[in-house]
Structure 1
Amino acid sequence: MQESHVELKRSLGLWSALAIVIGTVIGSGIFFKQASVLQMTGSTNLAMLAWLLGGLITLADGLTLSEIGSQIPHTGGLYQYMTHIYGEFWGFMSGWMQVIVYAPAIVGSIAGYLGLLVTNFFGLGSVWKAPIAIGTIILIAMLNMLENRYGAAFAIVTTICKLLPIAAIVIFGLFFGREAGFGETVTSIHQSVGNFGVAVLGTIFAYDGWILVTNLGGEIKRPEKLLPLAIILGITIVIVLYLGVIFGIFRSLSAAKINELGQNATAYFALNAFGAFGGRLVNIGIMISIIGALNGKMMSFPRIYYAMAAKRHLPFAKQISSLNRHTQTPVVATTILLALTSLMILTVDTDRLSELCIFAMYSFYIAAFVGVFILRHRNGGKPAGFSTPGYPVVPIIAIIGTSFVVISELFFDFVGAATSLVIIGLGIPLYYWLKRHYKNDDSIDVM
């Protein structure tokens, strides 16, 4: 059998998809953002409300996109949705932004943070940060070059492992917390705070990543049913876990102490709650949590490269769209992501680069959510698959919530928003060159 005829293996069940949703979302954000959200809201009660609202907006996003995913259950997620709803040009633009900057930058940013945690944990010099980051993504990339069941199994294992420190924080706060936790106001914390909207914005970013499971639509069994279920259950579970962590921290540390410690609040809590050994175990759990998030991204992002190449939307399309005949995975696409990520880690500020993509990515999210109305119109006013509960209110909430992110980016990082538009613009001449270059070359249908 020729490599060009090899297809992705549709072998991922609900547990695998669910683990990818949870594991990709829960990285480091929930463990280190308590102080920043608390400072911006001005009270512990409002901080908890900000986390809840951010979760509900994310759930509205997931419910809305689930309707689209059930109708277009193909590999490539957002790229496929934009192509199907708005045409090849806008599909290409959404995919181009992801493959050229967003995917390698976000993987590099998370890997870099893991490298920092590992060097601090073992008392290594900062010179080891980049080698540890790159070494980790190499190992994870190699794992995801095997059959997809191995990456899925690793996602399940790391998700279970990351639940342990979360459970420890929740249980300790529930049964052994001695602080008032709720009701502390801004006057006892900080002098100039109170931007509730910015706090909600920060929590929305902490919930981001769930959409990546849609990139695996061609490998999930019965995706028209299991994909919406995995998204909705996954986001709901993450909301509960996030609120549980916030509750545990607020019950265990005073608001003033959390504000003083900043990003070190969770580490301080672990040390005081469980002793030196227990604290180190919790910190190991956090590092495993980040590794799990990296695995989800290294598993899902290469599918965008593969799907775009299959439609002849990337140079070297035949090579990138090839699948290994033994593992049925996009090895070349995974290698490209690995190479771009490693290069970025060594040469640029991946944190800043990933921030530059926020405006563009969330703009495409808005377009996708609006697409629910377009698809219903095409289908005579009825959903063709999964039906978003609370339609049309829930999609409108998703659009408004995501628009809030886009508008906020314009206000708080106009240069970044403009830069992301420039990056998208650079893809326009490439799109038309590819159309001419591959005009006599048939694209490959992908699941």
Structure 2
Amino acid sequence: MNEGLEKRYGLLTAVAMVVGIVIGSGVFFKAEKVLVATGGDLPTGILAWFLGGMVMVICAYNFAIMATKHEKVSGVVDYAEVLVGPKYGYFFAWFMATIYFPAMTSVVAWVSARYFGVLMGWSIVGPEVMVISGVFLVGSYVVNALAPKLAGMLQVTTTVAKLIPLFLMAIVGTIFGMKNGILMDNFTSGAIVEVTGNPLFTAVVGTCFAYEGWICATSINAELKDAKKNLPRALTFGTIFVVIVYIVYYVGLAGAVENEVMMAGGETGAKIAFSTVFTNAGGTLLFVFVVISCLGTLNGLMMANTRAFYAIAVRNEGPRPQVFRVVDEVTKMPTNSALLGVMMAMLWLAYFYGANLAPTPWFGAFCFDSSELPIITIYAMYIPIFAMQMAKEKEMPFFQRVIAPLFGILASGFMVLAAIISLGKAIIFYMILFAVVQAFGMALKTYGHNE
């Protein structure tokens, strides 16, 4: 056994991780939510996709700047530790390991199973889909824990595969909609359903899940060849590419079916759109690529999730660091960290079902959407990092030291404000849970050092 990670991944894997994790379940899962949130107002929906994308690009650009200077174990945790301080670095790492990574991974496992269930004609809240969710989750863990190089190759392959349905819908759907007039009708109809609250902010919060995941690419910086050059390139070009793809896909969907049909379709909305444009057989075949797309996102998230407790232990912090920083000599993977990571994801999968899918919610007031609130939290946690980037990185050019992090603070603050306005009381109960988990983590900060 040893405690060092192998430099196994190149630029292509890093770009595929950014694009492959971000593009996947969210663009299919949240496209209908954005449309519903805006009452079917297509221009407002496109604006929401653009604003959510700009938040991602601005934050990713700042982390790209940090990546040119700092390289240690886990990307964003390294930046939090160096710029804000070791305690904040641990606070951030514990959040990523216990809430962010496992919550995101569990939701994407269910979304992958959800679309597989749509193909099979199953209820998305039925036992079949929940069992398949667990199978997908464990299967992804096995691939990452036992064959990490295969996981890297899968990430590249699934990234290419998932672009097929997106680009086909973007191009063919737009042409289809221009010919039959659906696209123009959807653009000019305005809101077709009355909505409460602020539809733009609600829609932007909806896009946050679809755009999230790029930060996971920073988790492999210790395994990335020439990380100080390749990670910034992957973050910058990958995120810009994603924004373009999402917007053209969303427009293509608007050319496929009327807004009211898409809104009424629920989980089958995307399948209806694909079948309308490409016939039932073609739509079903392309929808298979949608499932592959979701599995690619799951693979990328699991890559990060399996390394989360290692990032804590390698700093000699958290519970039993001597156990969780061990790297297997054969697979070159932190196997103990990976096992704990998948166990956390299974717990969050059970929570997601009980809070969002069960006929009667299991957790009362503590039910919230674990696909969104952890993401809003991480944007709030970026703000101190950007602030200290302005204060400490004095040798950087003015734009990189002041302007870029200032925009990062504004972008992150915008996401937090949008969440507060659109989600209301759910944030209060989530923050109680967040505080309990973080307090428990701080109590464990030095546990096991001398064992």
Map 1:45-444; keep pairs closer than 5 Å. Answer: 45-124=43-122, 126-177=126-177, 178-182=180-184, 184-185=187-188, 187=190, 189-192=192-195, 195-346=199-350, 349=353, 352-376=369-393, 381-383=394-396, 392-411=402-421, 412-428=423-439, 430-435=441-446, 437-438=448-449
- SS of alignment partner, residue 71 of structure 1: coil
Tell me the alpha carbon deviations over residues 291-315 of structure 1, each in whole angstroms, 9 at most, x when there is no partner.
0011001111222210101112221
Letter in 2 for 1:223: A
* Count of aligned residue pairs for this structure pair: 430
Letter in 2 for 1:196: L
CA deviation after TM superposition for structure 1 residue 151, in Å: 1.2
Percent identity (aligned): 24
Letter in 2 for 1:38: L
Cα contact 1:179–1:253 (8 A) shared by 2: no
Cα contact 1:302–1:330 (8 A) shared by 2: yes
Cα contact 1:189–1:259 (8 A) shared by 2: no
Letter in 2 for 1:138: V
CA gap of 1:180–1:336, structure 2 versus 1, over 3 A, is same
Cα contact 1:20–1:296 (8 A) shared by 2: yes
- SS of alignment partner, residue 189 of structure 1: coil
Cα contact 1:97–1:424 (8 A) shared by 2: no
CA gap of 1:388–1:206, structure 2 versus 1, over 3 A, is farther
- SS of alignment partner, residue 7 of structure 2: coil
TM-score, length-normalised on structure 2?
0.87
Structure 2 residues not aligned, in runs of 5+ = 357-368
Query: In structure 2, which of residues 24, 28, 33 is the aligned counterpart of residue 27 of structure 1?
Result: 24
CA deviation after TM superposition for structure 1 residue 235, in Å: 0.4
Cα contact 2:208–2:375 (8 A) shared by 1: no
| Separation (CA, whole Å) in 2 of partners of 1:176 and 1:360 | 40
Cα contact 2:49–2:204 (8 A) shared by 1: yes
CA gap of 1:118–1:192, structure 2 versus 1, over 3 A, is closer
CA deviation after TM superposition for structure 1 residue 399, in Å: 1.3
Structure 1 residues not aligned, in runs of 5+ = 442-447
Letter in 2 for 1:382: E
CA gap of 1:418–1:220, structure 2 versus 1, over 3 A, is same
What is residue 8 of structure 1 aligned with on the other side?
5
CA deviation after TM superposition for structure 1 residue 348, in Å: 5.3
Map 1:29-44; keep pairs closer than 5 Å. Answer: 29-41=26-38, 43-44=41-42
- SS of alignment partner, residue 187 of structure 2: coil
Cα contact 1:77–1:304 (8 A) shared by 2: no
Cα contact 1:27–1:290 (8 A) shared by 2: yes
| Separation (CA, whole Å) in 2 of partners of 1:353 and 1:50 | 20
CA deviation after TM superposition for structure 1 residue 72, in Å: 1.7
| C-alpha RMSD of the superposition | 2.5
What is residue 445 of structure 1 aligned with on the other side?
none
Cα contact 1:321–1:330 (8 A) shared by 2: yes
Tell me the alpha carbon deviations over residues 407-429 of structure 1, each in whole angstroms, 9 at most, x when there is no partner.
33334244434533543454346
| Separation (CA, whole Å) in 2 of partners of 1:32 and 1:186 | 24
Cα contact 1:67–1:228 (8 A) shared by 2: yes
| Separation (CA, whole Å) in 2 of partners of 1:288 and 1:67 | 32
